[in-house]
Structures are given as C-alpha cells and as structure tokens.
Amino acid sequence: MEQSQQNISNLLRELNEIGIALSAEKNHERLLELILVKAMELTHADGGTLYTRTDDNQLKFEILHNRSLGVHKGGTSGEEISFYPIELYDEAGNPNKNMVAAWAVISGVTVNIPDAYTNEAFDFSGTRNFDKKTGYRSKSFLTVPMTNHENEIIGVLQLINAMDEDSKQVVEFSLLDQQLVESLASQAAVTVTNKNLIEAQRNLFDSFIELIANAIDEKSPYTAGHCRRVPVLTNMLADAVNEIDLGPLKDFSMSEDEKYELSVAAWLHDCGKITTPEYVVDKGTKLETIFDRIKLVDTRFEILKRDAIIQVLKNKLKGSEDIEKALSQDPELTQTIKQLSAQREDIRKYNIGGESLQDQDLARIEEIAEQTWTNAEGETLNLLSDEEKNNLQIGRGTLSVREREIINNHVTVTIKMLESLPYPKHLKRVPEFAGGHHEKMDGTGYPNKLKGEDMSVQARMVAIADVFEALTASDRPYKKAMSLSQSLKILGRMKVDNHVDADLFDVFIHKKIYLQYANEYLKAEQIDEINFSEIPGYTALS
C-alpha cells in the first residue's frame, strides 16, 4: 500500500512538473510535442498521435510517434504527416461516429479500448492496414479529448499500446492511466489555448503597429516605405550585433524578447508624424506650402512684363508708326523683359533647396524682393512678401526654422504617444528606443540633446538605421537617390563627427549590413563599388 501511495505521489509530482514545463514552453510545435511525449511517458505508451481541431471542424494530424517502429512525424521532426484530416461531420452535418478520435471530440468523452481488433464500435480498418504494412500490432487505445477552461475541445490526445514495465507486453490502459492523461490533457488544453490567445493578441498588436506605420507612409508619397524599411535595417543590425564576436560589442547580446521590443520601437519610431502637416513632410521647394507658390511669383513677373509693354504701347500710340515694329525695337522694353526673365530664373533656382546660399545669393533675393508690382486692387506691393523672401533665403534644404521645428516636434509627439501606452514588462523600453532616433552621440541632436552615454545601444541602432534609410531613399522630394558609396561616406563622416555610434557603424560595415539591405531595397543603379579607404572613420574590426 505504501509503495502504491508512493507511486501515486511520484506520478502527481511528475504531472505537476509537466504542467510547469508546459507553461514555460513558448514554441507552439515544441509545446504540442511535449504534451504527447509526456503523456506517453506517464502511461508507458509505445505510440501516440496528437490532433488539433480546426475552425472548419476537422482533426488535423500534428504529431505522430511510435517507439517500436522508430516513427516520428510532424512537430519538431521536420517530416510532414501525409494523412488526410479526420472530418467531424459529413456534408449533411451528421456526426462522425465511426472514427474514435472524432467521436471523442463530438461526445467530449474519453474512449478507452482494450483491443482495437475486437472492438466493434469504431472503424479501425485504417489501423489494420497500417499494421499489415508495417508488421505492427495496434492493440490498446486511449483517446482523450483536450478540453480547455472555456469548455471548448481544441484537440485529441490518442495513445497506443500501453506497455507493462516488467513483462514488456502490451496491456490495456488502466483507470489511473486514463485519469492521469485526462488531467494532462486538460492542463495542456488550457496552456495551448492561452498560448494561442497570447499569440493572437501579439499578431493583433503587430498588425496594429504596421497599420500605424503604413498610415504614416501613406500620408506622404515621398516617404512611403520609410516606416517599413527602418525596422528592416534595425533588425539586420540587431542580428549582426548579436553574432559579432570581436570589437567593443562582442559581449553585447539580446534575447528574442529584447529583439522583439527593439523591432516594435523601430516600427513606431515615427508615429508622431501622424500629427505633422502633410505640406511640411512633403515640402519639396522653399516656397511650397499647400502648393508651390513659385507659380504666384511667376504670375507677378508676367504682370511686370505686361505693365512694361503697356507703358511702351501707351507712349507709342501717340505717334503713327507700326506698333509691333516699335515694340521689337524699343531698347528699354527689351532690357526690362530681359532683366525680369533673369530675375524669374534666379528665383526658380533659389526655390530648389539643393545648394547652400552665399552672401551674394542672399543679396540678389533682397534686390528682387524689393521690386514692386500693382495688384488687381491697385495696391503697390513688394514683388516677394517677407515670408516668401525668408523662405527663399533658407540656407540649406527647403524647410524654414518654423517648419523645421514642426518636423522636429514629431519625435516629442512620438515619445508622448508611446509613453501613454500600458506596456507589458518586456516592452517597457519601447518609448526610449523609439524616441532617440534623432539624438546624436555628441548631444547636438533632438529633442532631448542626449549624449551617447545617455542612450541604450538599442536606441542608437534605431538612430543609425533611420539615417542610412534616409540617405539611400529614392522617394524624397528634396534630394536625389544617393549611391551606396556616397551614403557610406556621409555615414562615415557622421561617425567621425560623433553623430552616430562608432561601434555600431563598425559592425554595420564589418557585417556588410549595407550590402544586405541594398540588395533587397535599393535600385540597381545605386549599388556601386565601395572603396573602403575613402570612407571616413572606417577601420576594420580585428
């Protein structure tokens, strides 16, 4: 009696340990495998099959084990199970009472069969065919429905041929075996259901993240894809840092949860742009707001030309000479039109934000702006308004100081938005990782002027990914697509100037992240030969 109680105590302890192991397993295939293997161990079963119930009422073969035959299919084996799923109902909706696994689901009751060959309640013709081909003898069957805490049957655990420990002969599954497997099946069903719910919530969360990123990209045709490409680069760099076995980052590593946290941050790094006006994000020229105001300036030049022509005509009409001939031969009019055309071309040139302006350029803009024209109301106005003049005098790029502040504010908004979310423990650092992508190692970045030592390695990864994506992007209105070599030179200068993390830059080059990304996302004409001696700050890792 004491030995029997001890055995039961051992079995209960083992069952408890199995429950803990099931809860700890995160991989779905390994979890299902663990359920079946532990059930076989508890009952000394020679074989077993685990089925899962599909949404269209079928039982799908997930894992098949048989120790005597050395069979292992499905699950972690990498070998597919070729058997067709078992239908729970026929086309007319009638329940499948012939197959024992189907009936266990339909009835919700465990079926314990001492000998399949003498059983007349169910169809075991498939089992007999299997035995005939393999020389095996399938005898005792224990078929247990897996019922979760919501009283839903999510699958079936079927064990074959209980083996007597002493005689090694096939025996029927005992009542204790049945109770143990029913308990295990219940625990397993709850665990699988919870894992599926967690996975479904994660999939929903991931889809929502991508939805936000895609909405931001769709907001501007000129940055379409940016929010999708930065996570790609970040993940490539994260994998490279995890693999690197030399240099300052050789001891840095991230778990799968930490890599996922970083990926989420990379997807959401620009979520604050959802509040940024489109005309600022899309601004391709200095005079552009809702539309490019260069057209208005063009109109004013045309009005000045016509005014000049009209004035000459008025003077000429006093005589009797040919008007067309007089206009073409009037040196003052010719000079005025030539001067206005030159001024208009200069304004068009200054409207493009490609080159930095010199003092003579600023003076030229002032000179043109101070000319006057008369509008439809008879008001005399400067040719360029103060705002237009200030916009044209932007030193580099197309954004004014105010517009630059609006753009920069998207990071502050990003941080506020992300910090307002109730994160689980493994995602707590998402706001910090995402909010640092415009900070620089020397503290001259924004919005918080953080220095390198104030930022995590992960935040610096998002920063370098954001820079490289922007450099190589071919969809910006204010610049042409840069070649790979040109982009790496600029990134190298940023390393030298202490703007990007030097150690991450070295890994980026050493592990050829730039080339891996280029082959997938850059145009063929952007991928040119790289001369590493021309990349500032580059030193080979050793």
Sign, Cα dihedral of 359, 361, 366, 370: positive
| Neighbouring C-beta atoms of residue 298, cutoff 10 Å | 13
332, pLDDT greater than 50 = yes
- The whole-number pLDDT of residue 507 equals 95
Phi-psi region of 390 (alpha: psi -120 to 50; beta: other; left: phi over 0): alpha
Which has the higher per-residue pLDDT, 337 or 502?
502
Burial 438-449 (b: 16+ CB within 10 A, else e): bbbbeeebbbbe
Q: Binning pLDDT at 50, 70 and 90, where does residue 347 land?
A: confident
Q: What is the pLDDT of residue 396?
A: 65
In whole angstroms, give the CA distance from residue 147 to residue 155. 8
Which of the four pLDDT bands, split at 50, 70 and 90, describes residue 219? confident
The pLDDT-based confidence of 348 (bands split at 50, 70, 90) is: confident
Question: What's the pLDDT at 231?
Answer: 94
CATH number for the domain formed by residue range(s) 220-272+427-534: 1.10.3210.10
The fold of 2-197 is Beta-Lactamase (3.30.450)
What region does 406 belong to: left with phi over 0, alpha with psi -120 to 50, or beta? alpha
Most confident of 198-202, 301-305, 425-429: 425-429
1: pLDDT strictly greater than 50: no
Nearest to 390, CA basis, from 350, 417, 339? 350
Q: What number of other Cβ atoms are within 10 A of residue 162's Cβ?
A: 22
Q: Structure tokens of 324?
A: 């067309």
Determine the pLDDT at residue 3.
Answer: 44
97-145 confidence digits (pLDDT tens): 999 999 999 999 999 999 999 999 999 999 999 999 999 999 999 999 9
Q: Over 60: is that where the pLDDT of 435 sits?
A: yes
Q: Where are the domains of the chain?
A: 2-197, 220-272+427-534, 294-398
Closest CA to 233 of 507, 440, 430: 507
CB atoms within 10 A of CB 198: 11
Distance CA 241, CA 251 (A): 9
CA separation for the pair 73, 80 (Å, rounded): 6
What percentage of the chain reaches a pLDDT higher than 90? 48
